[in-house]
Amino acid sequence: MEIVFATNNINKLKEANEIAQNSGITFILPPDSFNPEETGTTFAENSYIKASEAAKLSGKIALADDSGLCVNVLNGAPGLYSARYAETQQLRIKRLLNELAGEKDRQAQFVCCMTLVAPAGEILYQTTGYCKGHIAHAPSGTHGFGYDPIFIPDNYTITIAQMDDETKNNISHRGNALKQVLKFLSNTNL
Ligand code: IMP
């Protein structure tokens, strides 16, 4: 079964298909005109906005994620604004490291809300996945994307960017949320 993954981020599509391998589900990109305005005030609202636009444009069931990095001492920032925290990813990492300079409490978590939407727009399923850890003092590693070079998950001493894809998918917020979605799909006749 093909499901539209409501993203323009090829890394997310790749991760989703790696996690879904052997499930009978293949995720495909939305039509080129997919360009939703993320005007929601929560991860759940934004994931619904993206999924419903992709479902409407494609006429197919669509899944969207909305994700971000939430740092405890920054009251959850960058959070919803993770992708817009500075102009480039390198500058976003630099800004976050500057804001945490001298800070001992570096606890943080990645959050990912996923929403599965029918072609007519109704929500079929919604779930949230988490990955807890802390922010490193400097970037390390070249795998993954976004804030991966500065995020060290609990029970690890390396950043996500130093892990192979399989290890990241096993523990990531997106992996956790997607496993719930796949479980829902395997128990439901759509
Ligand atoms: P979204 O595409 O609106 O969900 O924005 C998510 C933003 O959060 C991304 O652009 C990254 O900056 C950050 N982010 C989300 N998931 C990850 C991840 O798995 N690794 C690193 N950064 C992530």
Structural domains for the chain: 2-186 (3.90.950.10)
- Among 43, 1, 40, 45, smallest CA distance to 20 is for 1
Asked if 144 contacts 11 with a C-beta cutoff of 8 angstroms, the reply is yes
The pLDDT of residue 97: 98
- Which of 147, 173, 178 is the pocket-test mutation for ligand 1 (most atoms within 8 Å of CB)? 147
Q: pLDDT tens digits, the chain, 190 residues: what are they?
A: 999 999 998 988 998 999 999 999 999 999 999 999 999 999 999 999 999 999 999 999 999 999 999 999 999 999 999 999 999 999 999 999 999 999 999 999 999 999 999 999 999 999 999 999 999 999 999 998 999 999 999 999 999 999 999 999 999 999 999 999 999 999 998 8
Q: Which amino acid is at 148?
A: D
Q: How far is the CA of 82 from the centre of ligand 1 (A)?
A: 6
- What φ, ψ does residue 70 adopt, rounded to 5°? -115, 120
Pick from 178, 181, 57: which is nearest to 121 by CA? 57
> For residue 85, which of 42, 146, 32 has the smallest C-alpha distance?
146
Distance CA 61, CA 181 (A): 13
Q: How far is the CA of 181 from the centre of ligand 1 (A)?
A: 19
Atom from ligand 1 closest to the CA of residue 9: 2
In the residue annotation, 66 being an active-site residue is answered as: yes
Supply the pLDDT for residue 12: 87
Pocket around ligand 1 at a 6 A CB cut-off:
9, 65-69, 82-83, 110, 144-148, 172, 174
**What is the predicted pLDDT for the residue at 33?**
96
* Cα–Cα dist 17/39, whole Å: 27
Residue located nearest, by CA, to atom 23 of ligand 1: 146
pLDDT of residue 15: 86
Q: Note the pLDDT of residue 103.
A: 97
Spatial distance between the Cα atoms of 53 and 66, rounded to a whole number of angstroms: 14
Cα–Cα separations (whole angstroms), residue 175 to 74, 109, 135, 150:
25, 14, 20, 19
CA–CA distance, 148 with 140 (Å, rounded to integer):
9
Report CA(187)–ligand 1 centroid distance (Å). 29
**Cα of 189 from ligand 1 centre, angstroms:** 31
Q: Which of 66, 105, 154, 165 is catalytic?
A: 66
Question: What is the best residue among 45, 128, 145 to mutate for testing ligand 1's pocket, by most ligand atoms within 8 Å of CB?
Answer: 145
Task: Say how many Å lie between the CA of residue 7 and the centre of ligand 1.
Answer: 11
